[in-house]
Amino acid sequence: MSRSLTPVNRVGVEERAAALGRRSIKTTAKREGIRLATSMIDLTTLEGSDTPGKVRHLCAKAVCPDPSRPELPSCAAVCVYPSLVGVAAAALEGSGVAVASVATGFPAGQTSLKVKVDETREAVAAGASEIDMVISRDAYLRGDDRTVAREIEAVKEACGSAHLKVILETAELPTYAHVRHASELAIAAGADVIKTSTGKASSGATPGVVLVMLEVVRDHFERTGRVVGVKAAGGVSTTKAALHMLVLVKETLGDEWLTPDRFRIGASSLLNDLLMQYAKLDGGHYGRAEDFSKE
Amino acid sequence: MATVERAALRWDYAPAPESRDAAPLKPRYDLFIGGSFVAPTDGTVVETRNPATEETLAEVAFAGPGDVAAAVDAARGAADGWAALPALERGKYLFRIARLIQERARELAIVETLDGGKPIRESRDVDVPLAAAHFFSYAGWADKLQYAFGGRAYEPRGVVGQVVPWNFPLLMAAWKLAPALATGNTAVLKPAETTPLTALLLAEIVQEAGLPDGVVNIIPGDGSAGAALVRSEVDKVAFTGSTAVGKEIQRALAGTGRGLTLELGGKSANIVFEDAALDQAVEGIIEGIFFNQGHVCCAGSRLLLQESVAEEVVRKLWARMERLRVGDPLDKNTDVGAINSAEQLARITEMVEAGEQQGAVRRSVTCALPDAGYWFPPTMFLDVAPANRIAVEEIFGPVVSVTTFRSPAEAVERANNSAYGLAAGVWTDNGAKAFEVASKLRAGVVWQNTYNKFDPTAAFGGYKESGFGREGGPAGLAPYVRLGG
């Protein structure tokens, strides 16, 4: 069966997304926005050089981003490779910060379904309550939507009670219409959250891509009443970019979606920029980068 | 390990008002005649007000008949010298004006918003940059006119009288002055009664740019000053405003041999087909009718929806309307500002009441509106009969009337079923359909998958009762010259 795409106009999407980026977020709105963005972060490390020590440091930072500012909330989750889930789970126990893990042959997804499912089960068994899977772009670009859906369904089943975030890797999808279509496909196959990117591709969560995905989630909610979350990952590394994301959410889905249950930002370096900007609101001047620990 | 609560956070934008200090106003602005600011001889001095607060902003001199004559005389006196100037030199003056507009952009944007009520977002991002762009664009044309007229000989008209409306005060002044000056004419410009300030700041810029005295004269005034100007010994009249006044001007000028271009009202159709990108179409509908509170001659005030998607589009449009931020025009996050004047508010209110009485279903956004000033909530009308006044007459406010159609042919027929023909929008992802429909629409501007996009290189103007003559691009030069062989 040939694929039918709902049209999305590139110029219109990017114009709207850019217009929302010009909202003026100052004073109390900036302060609250930084706190909100902090609470939505999936603090992420996905490097070949990750060690248990680094992950433990990151976990401590996710729980208490800045010990000198206790009013700043914890991050939503820490996101690691499956082999480090156990370390993160132990470090985060009782903190309210979730353990998320990429699985399914991240970031390329070029492994068999069996391997993907096994990897998912392993991560969940080790203590991950959230799984970030990648769709098979290979199948999607061939037009084999059925395989893409089947894989999502299988991984969803392997998740058990863990939440499933489905990464579309939008940089590898040809058009916004495909972003929309793939979002709908992932939602229909059982995604709890749709996520833009792995962070390993040429671009990540651009405002246009996030806007289109938010619109899909809004339309799906209006049609079915089912809440699906969105995760913007990749390239959201500044406070300005994070606040832009919050504006997109607020003006597309409304205030109800401005919670970590429904919107996440996957990032590693963003948190320190948020902390620096927050400190500037108090002190009137920027701190030094070395005032904030990297992990 | 200490844990930190993730409190239930709520988030709204804090007030983000643009600073008025960046635009200090003088207590009084005089007439700009012959290169100087002069007090009126037989005119009056009136207060200009902020329509968002009703506070007085400044006193402004209004021209009387003698002042109009003096301005025309000044322009006449400067005409030969200006026309004789090498074209490249004329172009340099226009470049200088354009750059000075950019230098004073923030101030101009703030004053435009204060005097007219439009959101600062628009005056900052649209009105002022476009005004500068028009001067830049026509500055480039000044010494290349032979290419605009296919090699034919040309000479300036002489003295032009120009009357501009209150909805885009600075931008309309730029639209009028830039092509007139580029082609070697001198000008007398009358800004609108309720919004004279940015035109007077433009007069300061003209002075600062060092234009020869009398080349540009700017005389605020009411309708009587405009009427006097268009009946003066000018060689060409350019008017943007209502169709009723345009008709009067055309009557007055008949048989005089004077040039005339009219850019008048509109009731433009915005047509959404079932195969359009609907979320972006909704944005275009919003832009089409709520941009500048709908005080736009080419506003997409008649929304034509293909029946198969009408319900969905209306639902999305309403949800989007409810998110519009209506209020303080100086706030950088305001989407919809104040209605330009008490008079215009009364006109909108009257039309909306008539629409309801004639059976259309009204839906207005419920939003907190300030106590002072002139406000009207974003409004849509459903089930609008084609003969309903709101489907026929120009409202010039934030009010869109919605009707449906079943086929492209029916859409074209309905769109063209209007006394006006200024603009139209066509929304479809099907390129062939877009071009076919556009070619059949009797409208001066047809936007495809967008709306209210303006560019100094593109011609703008109407069919039928929306006027004649074009502004913008090379076509906008033609009305300001006499062509020889």
Q: What is the pLDDT of residues B184-229, one digit of tens each?
A: 999 999 999 999 999 999 999 999 999 999 999 999 999 999 999 9
**Residue A292 pLDDT > 90, yes or no?**
no
| Phi, psi for residue B141 in degrees, rounded to 5 | -75, -25
Q: Which pLDDT does position A1 carry in this prediction?
A: 56
How far does Cα B311 stand from its chain's mean position? 32
**Residue A140 pLDDT > 60, yes or no?**
yes
Pairing mode, strands B31-33 and B36-38: antiparallel
Query: Taking a C-beta distance cutoff of 8 angstroms, is the pair A111, A155 a contact?
Result: no
- What tokens appear for B49 in the block? 């007000």
- Cα end-to-end distance, chain A, whole Å: 49
The verdict on a CB contact (< 8 Å) between B12 and A72 is no
| B7 interaction partners in chain A (CB closer than 8 Å) | 35, 73
The verdict on a CB contact (< 8 Å) between B280 and A9 is yes
Q: Where are the domains of chain A?
A: 10-291
| B8 interaction partners in chain A (CB closer than 8 Å) | 259
| Phi, psi for residue B120 in degrees, rounded to 5 | -60, -30
Specify the amino acid at residue B288: G
* C-alpha R_g of chain B: 23
Measure the CA–CA gap between B135 and B137, rounded to whole angstroms: 5
The CATH number assigned to the domain with range B269-455 reads 3.40.309.10
Most distant pair of Cα atoms in chain A: their distance? 61
Min distance B437 CA to chain A CA atoms (Å): 19
Pairing mode, strands B399-405 and B379-382: parallel
Measure the CA–CA gap between B395 and B389, rounded to whole angstroms: 9
Min distance A16 CA to chain B CA atoms (Å): 8
Measure the CA–CA gap between B286 and B288, rounded to whole angstroms: 5
Measure the CA–CA gap between B274 and B306, rounded to whole angstroms: 6
CA distances from A215 to A172, A230, B323 (A): 20, 10, 15
Interface of A with B in 163-192 (CB under 8 A): none
Q: B86 Cβ partners below 8 Å, 6+ apart?
A: B143
Q: Which pLDDT does position B10 carry in this prediction?
A: 73
Measure the CA–CA gap between B422 and B298, rounded to whole angstroms: 6
Q: What is the set of active-site residues of B?
A: 263
**Predicted confidence band of residue A282 (pLDDT cuts 50, 70, 90):** confident
Asked if A90 reaches chain B (Cβ–Cβ under 8 Å), the answer is no
Specify the amino acid at residue B129: P
**Residue A182 pLDDT > 60, yes or no?**
yes
Strand order in the sheet with B269-272: B361-364, B379-382, B399-405, B302-306, B269-272, B423-427, B445-448
Domain A10-291 bears CATH identifier 3.20.20.70: yes
| B16 interaction partners in chain A (CB closer than 8 Å) | 24-26, 29
Q: Which pLDDT does position B2 carry in this prediction?
A: 39
Half-sphere exposure of B169 (CA within 13 A, CB side): 30
Measure the CA–CA gap between B191 and B299, rounded to whole angstroms: 21
- Closest residue to A255, CB basis, from B2, B11, B280: B11
Among B1, B5, B6, most A C-beta atoms within 10 A, so best to mutate, is B6
The verdict on a CB contact (< 8 Å) between A27 and B14 is yes
Measure the CA–CA gap between B366 and A92, rounded to whole angstroms: 46
Query: Taking a C-beta distance cutoff of 8 angstroms, is the pair B365, B379 a contact?
Result: yes
CATH architecture of the domain formed by B20-264+466-483 = 3-Layer(aba) Sandwich (3.40)
Size of interface A-B (CB pairs under 8 A): 103
CB count within 10 Å of CB B359 equals 11
Query: Taking a C-beta distance cutoff of 8 angstroms, is the pair B199, B168 a contact?
Result: no
Q: Where are the domains of chain B?
A: 20-264+466-483, 269-455
Q: Which pLDDT does position A288 carry in this prediction?
A: 77
CA distances from B42 to A196, A199, B31, B34, B217 (A): 68, 71, 12, 17, 17
Catalytic residue selected from A42, A132, A192, A273: A132
Please give the average per-residue pLDDT across A170-176, as a whole number: 97
Q: Which pLDDT does position B238 carry in this prediction?
A: 97
Query: Taking a C-beta distance cutoff of 8 angstroms, is the pair A262, B8 a contact?
Result: no
Query: Taking a C-beta distance cutoff of 8 angstroms, is the pair B362, B379 a contact?
Result: yes
SS3 B462: coil
Q: Which pLDDT does position B4 carry in this prediction?
A: 47
| Phi, psi for residue A248 in degrees, rounded to 5 | -55, -45
- Closest residue to A12, CB basis, from B6, B332, B449: B449
Full-model pTM: 0.95
Point out the residues of chain B with pLDDT beneath 50: 1-4
Identify the residue whose tokens are 């930084």.
A34
The verdict on a CB contact (< 8 Å) between B333 and A23 is yes
Does the annotation mark A192 as catalytic? no
Min distance B282 CA to chain A CA atoms (Å): 10
